[in-house]
Amino acid sequence: MSDGKDPFYVGYLPLPADLKFFVRAIIGVSVLGAIVLAFVIASRQQDPGSGSLDASRIVAIDGHLSVEPYPIVYVDDPESSVGVRAVLLVSSFKFGAWDRVADMHGKRVRAQGQFLNREGRVILQLIDGEGAVVVLDDQSTPPPTESLGDHTLIGEIVDAKCFLGAMKPGFGKTHRACAVRCISGGIPPVLVTRDAKGKATVYLLTDVDNKAVNDDVLSYVSEPVEMAGRLERHGDLLVYSIDPKMIIRK
């Protein structure tokens, strides 16, 4: 019925024609707005990166093992610019590999595990149990090192395992709690810097005596920071030696 006044909706009666048009218009605008909002939010998110974990394939690498400052196997690699590729070693979950290889320092070993890879930087997550790392030779040649001088860098401290593929994005404030637990568990901390195009460079962090700095950098994880230090190249790995007390929050 109509008396010439504005339509009035009663729940148990059919919806007036004028209100049908209004409701349909509101629904259409709302759906379109939700799509646009979702696109805007997604476009403003940082790229999670190309890190990957190949959990389905077990690989074996042979090379010189160093456990100072962190467990690293230096593998001969003709495709590397310096002929040697540095492969960091970690254990499953949020644990480093110190306890598993401490007595093999300076020897040639074979390590088995799963690769985590991001833009050519790799980590080997060791298989569980004994036999993950075995000694091939008590005599081994350490990798070449090159001094690159003193540098001041600005970036973000993260755990190497997650950043290189165990988690995505593996950086930023949303990843802070995970990164703190990983670094506390022995995963090597790294400084990630980005150039004007967003390309990341990874630096392994040590103190001025080339010792591990896990406990010393926990309060700075996943924050923009600035630090000054000495830069070296060990094989193809950039190692950045700093005084943790001199880290500056940006």
Domain CATH for 122: 2.40.50.110
**72 compared with 197, residue with greater pLDDT:** 72
Q: Which of 33-39's residues contact partners 24+ apart within 8 Å by CB, and which partners?
A: none
pLDDT-derived band at 232 (thresholds 50, 70, 90) equals very high
Where on the phi/psi map is residue 100: left (φ > 0), alpha (ψ -120 to 50), or beta? Answer: alpha
Q: What is the mean pLDDT of residues 8-17?
A: 75
Residue 8 has pLDDT above 80, yes or no: no
HSE, CB side, 13 Å, CA atoms: give it for residue 192.
Answer: 25
Q: So what's the pLDDT on residue 99?
A: 95
Q: Is residue 77 part of a domain?
A: yes
Domain boundary at 84, 105, 137, which? 137
Is the full-model pTM beyond 0.85?
no
Q: Report the distance separating Cα 205 and Cα 172, nearest Å.
A: 18
Q: Could you tell me if 245 and 149 lie in one domain?
A: yes
Would residue 113 count as lying in a domain?
A: yes
- Tell me, yes or no, whether 108 and 182 share the same domain: no
What would the mean pLDDT of 3-31 be, rounded to a whole number? 77
Residue that is last in its domain, among 114, 137, 160: 137
Task: Tell me the residue range of the domain where 58 lies.
Answer: 52-137
The total domain count for the chain is 2
What mean pLDDT do residues 35-47 have?
70
Specify if 90 maps to a domain. Answer: yes
Task: Give the largest CA-CA distance in the chain.
Answer: 101
- Assess whether pLDDT exceeds 70 at residue 97: yes
- Is 119 within the bounds of a domain? yes
154 and 129 inside one domain: no
Q: Domain holding 233: CATH number?
A: 2.40.50
Q: What is the mean predicted confidence (pLDDT) over 74-92?
A: 94
Beta carbons within 10 angstroms of residue 100's beta carbon:
19
**Between 105 and 119, whose confidence is greater?**
105
Residue 159 forms part of a structural domain: yes
Q: Are residues 130 and 153 in the same domain?
A: no
Q: Say yes or no: 161 and 132 in one domain.
A: no
